[in-house]
Amino acid sequence: MTEKVTVTAIVVVALSLGNALAADPSVANGRGPRLQFELVDGTVITGSTDIKAITIRIASGNVLKIPVAELTELSVGGKGRTEPQSKIRAGKTVLLGTVTVRTFRIASPYGPVTAKLDNIRRIRSGAGDVSVKGGRWSVRLRDKTHLRGIATGKSLRIRTRYGTMTVPPAQIWTAAFTAAGKTISVQCLNSDRIVGALGPKTTISFKTDKGGVDIPAGKISAIMYDALLTFDLGKGVTMKLVRIPAGKFMMGTPKTQRDYEDREGPQRPVTISKAFYMGVYEITQSQYQCVMDKNPSKFKGPRNPVEQVSWHDATAFCEALSTKTGRVVRLPTEAQWEYACRAGTKTRFSFGDDDKDLDAHGWYRANSGARTHPVGLKKPNPAGLYDMHGNVGEWCNDWYDEKFYAKAKNVDPENTAKSKNRVLRGGSWYNYPRWCRSAKRFKYYTNSHFGFRIAVVSGLGVD
């Protein structure tokens, strides 16, 4: 039976500052360009401000005005008024100097906010334009109890140094509580982050298939979406990611297992200390086209995996998607890739040891017809990831070192020592079954052409 979670509205007395701002129609109506404000306590808010231009005094003594609509980025230095200087970017223009504005009044999705320049670290334009949808919730209590279900509550009111903000539970990606629930840090689905405190009598109610329960916030360790996230890239193109929880596994191949290679050993215990999100599918040609405005693939098809992509092309895609979503998007480490591929299994493949079963799970030399195929047509692995075996080879972030396993650390290993090659995983349409195994490692020059899938850190280190 599906569990359901409801979060009660939390009543907190609104600060007078918030009330005053709400009366300002230019702020309350959200006029002006969309900006993302990164504040000194870690809060990140997307919204608009009533300020139309930012004045900066540069070293020559000249005073210049930059329209907020043209602002790319404002990095605040020395509390905005003293050295080191603040930096304004507007297109190709870069200005260093002293910013004269003192206070930004922000119309945000969580209510009106006032932030003094002293409290601002950076302002960026165009952040958070990609919508993100969450799946099922996972709630962890301090006694290690876990609850799972769907959030259906009204709002979470958080008292911050900038005013009281109201966050809909359906907008929460992860929420981490300190001891006794005195402080909460909420990572929102649209890349915003709210840091503050809840009311002293805050209670969150959950409805599960075992019945309803009311839990004081002080007993909650974390709240998170733990299934699918969806990035809406625009033009009808979306991207699904699944949450991979933290955990331990045996990385590599035991010498007694068929097809063992020295480069896959010695097998060793590895800990992935933080949860992360991984692309359900290899990056498709339509997704690559939407983000990079080009499609270099040989085997054309909007749902076919993009190929003919170098390691540098893949990392450029990750950087562009990071900018577009406000999240940290990167290629998975070699350890993350194998951990997600195995998904708790210890066999040659994520589905077992027999080569003949690969036909149901991946495109390889015997069934591909010498080309790639649309993603998601074969069976997924236990983590819900498709095409981890075959279809197209997938770049990892690590530099390749055949002896890396013997000297790497056991917690979150990643080879950052530069060499001639980067790591490729998963095998492809061209490969025999033994090259599509979970532990198989390839080395290729960074200008070689393959495919990839992305990893996104889960935020707040919640596992």
Backbone angles phi, psi at 379, to 5 degrees: -70, 145
Rounded Cα gap, residues 343 and 279, in angstroms: 14
- Any idea where the domains of the chain sit in the sequence? 16-125, 131-225, 228-457
Question: What's the topology of domain 228-457?
Answer: paralog of FGE (formylglycine-generating enzyme) (3.90.1580)
d(CA 280, CA 241): 5
* Ranges in the chain, pLDDT < 70: 1-31, 78-84, 126-137, 149-154, 178-182, 200, 205-211, 225-227, 458-463
pLDDT in tens, 228-243: 788 989 889 999 998 8
In sequence order, the 6+-apart residues with CB closer than 8 A to the CB of 433 are 355, 358, 364, 366
d(CA 417, CA 199): 48
121-52-131 Cα angle (round to 5): 60
**Interval 165-174: pLDDT, tens:** 988 877 777 7
pLDDT of residue 181: 54
Instruction: Name the helix (H) or strand (E) containing 18.
Output: helix 16-22
CA distance 49 to 106: 5
The confidence score (pLDDT) of residue 241 equals: 92
**pLDDT value of position 410:** 96
What angle is formed at CA 241 by the lines to CA 217 and CA 174, rounded to 5 degrees?
A: 15
At 296 the pLDDT is 97
